[in-house]
């Protein structure tokens, strides 16, 4: 079992949503899930901190949400499909979230995708010599 989980750790820039992450992020992800309802989206937009207090998340998770720091949310157990509901509430596309997570302007990210995306070379393994 451990060998199964360990094998993914060599892949750069990637967090696999395994049991550890799922337990860590349960309440963060369930907060995101609440944004499936329009009335909750409105309540969140009206008072973000107040709304987040309804969920038994850690302060670090709440701050990462307020900061819209998606990589931090992922490291704290967030799953991208859940986190995307925050992006949708903000009116942003997946591509916009991707630009935030990769730290490049959205136009640059979009141009990278049009040019064929992030290549496998140098991005398969943390020990890849092309990195």
Partner 1 sequence: MARITAGLTTSHIPAVGAAIDLGKTQEPYWKPVFAGYEFGRRWIAEHRPDVVILVYNDHASAFSLELIPTFAIGCAESFQPADEGWGPRPVPVVQGHPELAWHIAQSAILDEFDMTIVNRMDVDHGLTVPLSLLFGQPQAWPVKVIPLAVNVVQYPPPTGNRCWNLGRAIRKAVESFDDNLKVMVWGTGGMSHQLQGPRAGFINKEFDARFLDGLTKDPQALVKIPHVDYVREAGSEGIELVMWLVMRGALDERAREVHRFYHVPASNTAVGHIILENP
Number of residues in contact with partner 1 under rule CB under 8 A: 56
- Out of 17, 63, 69, 106, the only residue in the binding site for partner 1 (CB under 8 A) is 17
DSSP 74: H
Query: What angle do helix axes 80-89 and 94-102 make, rounded to 10 degrees?
Result: 110
**Among 68, 60, 63, which residue's Cα sits nearest to residue 85?**
68
**37 is a contact residue toward partner 1 (CB under 8 A):** yes
Give, in degrees to the nearest 5, the angle at Cα 61 between 58 and 66: 130
Residues that bind partner 1 (CB under 8 A): 4-5, 7-8, 10-19, 22, 26, 29-30, 32-33, 35-38, 41, 71, 74, 79-82, 84-85, 87-89, 93-95, 97-98, 101-103, 109, 112-114, 116-120, 123-125
């Amino acid at each position: 079992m451990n060998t199964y989980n360990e094998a993914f750790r060599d892949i750069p820039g990637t967090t696999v949503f395994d049991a550890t992450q799922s337990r860590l992020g349960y309440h963060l992800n369930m907060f995101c899930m609440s944004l499936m309802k329009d009335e909750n989206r409105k309540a969140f937009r009206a008072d973000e901190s107040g709304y987040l207090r309804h969920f038994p998340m850690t302060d670090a998770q709440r701050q990462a949400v307020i900061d819209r720091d998606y990589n931090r949310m992922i490291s704290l157990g967030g799953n991208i499909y859940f986190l995307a509901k925050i992006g949708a509430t903000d009116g942003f596309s997946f591509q916009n979230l991707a630009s935030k997570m990769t730290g490049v302007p959205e136009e640059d990210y979009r141009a990278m995708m049009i040019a064929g995306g992030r290549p496998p070379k140098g991005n398969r393994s943390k020990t890849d010599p092309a990195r």
